[in-house]
Amino acid sequence: MSDSPRQYRRVLLKLSGEALMGDLDYGIDPAVIQRIASEIGTATKQEIEIAIVIGGGNIFRGAGLARAGMDRVTGDYMGMLATVMNALAIQDALEAINVYARVMSALQIHQVSEDYIRRRAVRHLEKGRVVILAAGTGNPFFTTDTAASLRAIEIGADILLKATKVDGVYDADPVSNPEAKRYKTVSFDQVLADKLSVMDATAIVMCRDNNLPLRIFDLTQPGALVQAMSGDDVGTLVTF
Ligand code: UDP
């Protein structure tokens, strides 16, 4: 656990669908989701308000379905529905350890989740509930990274924390290039100019133009999630 002073009051955590897969090829690894839930539970005990935007890439991505011949918009709706399934799994894992959580969906599916209503989401956060934001922006041709930047700005989050499988942003691909160097901080403009693989450009521009800092960190490192939420200097901070 972090021993640094808590810096953030409210954070938005972006989890990709792949983060839930662990070493599987598809779907959700129960052990991985339990570990993530436990770290989120630890952060809520530090009175950090947490909203989560979850991806769906472990099940469906619209672009992949379109490449296989499906109509792109239909594929994107399937991708958004995949994020709803992941959101329910996270809600379940949090409730299993007595952390209050609410799924709020950008698509209306009243039997399984609340609708996303900004004021209601903020109220849940103020009451200490983890809010899990499903179905991205609710619109095809967007990504859950863009949904994460949009929602973080809407709910007044202090930072967007993007969980990945690498420990930050590098100047080259660290897997194929052993000389690649990790940035401790990097500017949004450099990320865009150098096409550094952080998040899609729409999401980066949203953060930059709305003064929302972004931290990229390695979710597979035990404790890194709590450290990132506590304001510790893990991974890479993208600033202005
Ligand atoms: N999606 C969409 N609109 C959104 C967010 C997501 O159409 O606002 C669809 C899109 O097809 C995307 C899929 O949902 O590929 C899953 O989201 P994403 O690829 O962002 O998930 P991740 O890569 O984070 O797992």
Q: What is the pLDDT of residue 2?
A: 45
How far is it, in rounded angstroms, from Cα 165 to Cα 16? 10
Q: Is any ligand 1 atom within 6 A of the Cβ of residue 86?
A: no
Q: Is the dihedral of CA 82, 83, 88, 93 positive or negative?
A: positive
Residues 90-99 have pLDDT tens digits of: 999 999 999 9
Q: What is the mean pLDDT of the chain?
A: 95
Indicate whether residue 105 lines ligand 1 (CB < 6 A).
no
Atom of ligand 1 nearest to the CA of 19: 25
Among 13, 32, 60, 76, name the best residue to mutate to test ligand 1's pocket (greatest count of ligand atoms within 8 A of Cβ). Answer: 76
Q: What is the mean pLDDT of residues 106-117?
A: 98
What pLDDT score does 174 carry? 85
In angstroms, what is the span from residue 54 Cα to ligand 1's centroid?
A: 9
Number of the ligand 1 atom closest to the C-alpha atom of 76:
11
Q: Please state whether beta strands 10-15 and 49-54 pair in parallel, antiparallel, or not at all (unpaired).
A: parallel
Residue with structure tokens 């903020």? 122
Strands ordered across the beta sheet of 49-54: 114-115, 101-105, 130-134, 49-54, 10-15, 159-164, 214-218, 236-239, 185-187
